[in-house]
């Protein structure tokens, strides 16, 4: 995997910018890496490569966005304007029997490397446009990842999965099933540090779902209602599942 290493120290106020960790220039170089950027790149890598690769742009972006969020440089569900406009891509091509992977964000190359051959593929590119339900769930792993899963979280995740599958039953081994199990288990555990968190359940939500779809206003309404109904105070968690889905729906209305 070839991409730049940090070229200058960054302050907590400035945060980790694209120019700190990638060989990019112009406006993108000065922009702090945002959680939504990282989720979009992770989703694109998952779709093309099967999973996020160690040391890949998605991996670097996720760790950088987590630090930026921790220091208050970016907001919980935020994307960089340049990246939102130009999108992210992970493209693969086969040249002289070799597989070439190129990853871009904001119209600039973040990384390129040779990968193993995969049969029955020619050229494929995955772009980030509308935010999918899986991506919105993964954003929750960044914005509220340390929160132990409770019944309201599990209900919201179940509602989100149902909107994807169109079925009422919970898919065995899926994110909703994992969330339900975590919520029940957490109620029996005294120590907070031993509980299963939203990050544990949702970090790979986009690939764990049997399928995916762009978030709509109707999806958001169902998820918000499910989370509120199962919360004793009838509220949603700041940065939680419902808020992430609702934010994605608002963003998608500008795109779709």
pLDDT averaged over 10-residue windows placed end to end, the chain, 256 residues: 47 78 92 90 78 79 86 86 88 74 90 59 43 88 88 97 91 91 96 94 87 92 96 91 88 68
Contact (CB, 8 A) for 215 and 131: yes
Q: What is the pLDDT of residue 220?
A: 94
Q: What is the pLDDT of residue 9?
A: 47
The radius of gyration computed from the CA coordinates of the chain, to the nearest angstrom, equals 18
CA atoms within 13 A on the CB side of 73: 23
Q: What is the pLDDT of residue 208?
A: 86
Q: Where do runs of H (alpha helix) occur along the chain?
A: 18-21, 26-29, 35-49, 57-70, 81-86, 133-143, 151-165, 175-186, 198-202, 205-208, 217-229, 241-253
Q: What is the pLDDT of residue 5?
A: 45
Q: What is the pLDDT of residue 256?
A: 53
Q: What is the pLDDT of residue 229?
A: 96
pTM of the shown model? 0.57
Q: Give the closest residue to 154 by CA, choosing from 194, 188, 196, 189.
A: 196
Residue 146 CB neighbour total at 10 angstroms = 11
């Amino acid at each position: 995997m070839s991409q730049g290493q940090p070229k200058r120290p960054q302050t907590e106020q400035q945060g980790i910018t694209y120019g700190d960790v990638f060989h990019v220039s112009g406006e993108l170089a000065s922009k702090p890496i945002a959680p939504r950027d990282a989720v979009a790149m992770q989703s694109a890598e998952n779709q093309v490569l099967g999973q996020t690769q160690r040391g890949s742009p998605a991996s670097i972006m996720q760790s950088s966005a987590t630090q930026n969020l921790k220091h208050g440089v970016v907001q919980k569900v935020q994307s960089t304007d340049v990246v939102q406009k130009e999108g992210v891509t992970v493209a693969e091509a086969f040249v002289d029997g070799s597989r070439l992977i190129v990853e871009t964000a904001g119209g600039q190359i973040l990384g390129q490397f040779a990968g193993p051959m995969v049969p029955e593929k020619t050229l494929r590119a995955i772009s980030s446009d509308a935010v999918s339900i899986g991506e919105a769930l993964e954003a929750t792993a960044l914005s509220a990842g340390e929160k132990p899963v409770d019944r309201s979280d599990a209900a919201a995740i179940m509602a989100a999965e149902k909107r994807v599958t169109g079925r009422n039953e919970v898919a065995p081994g899926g994110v909703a099933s994992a969330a339900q199990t975590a919520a029940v288990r957490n109620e029996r555990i005294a120590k907070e540090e031993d509980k299963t968190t939203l990050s544990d359940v949702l970090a790979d939500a986009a690939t764990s779902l049997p399928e995916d779809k762009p978030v709509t206003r109707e999806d958001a309404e169902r998820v918000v209602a499910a989370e509120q109904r199962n919360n004793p105070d009838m509220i949603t968690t700041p940065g939680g599942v419902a808020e992430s889905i609702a934010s994605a729906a608002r963003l998608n209305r500008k795109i779709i």
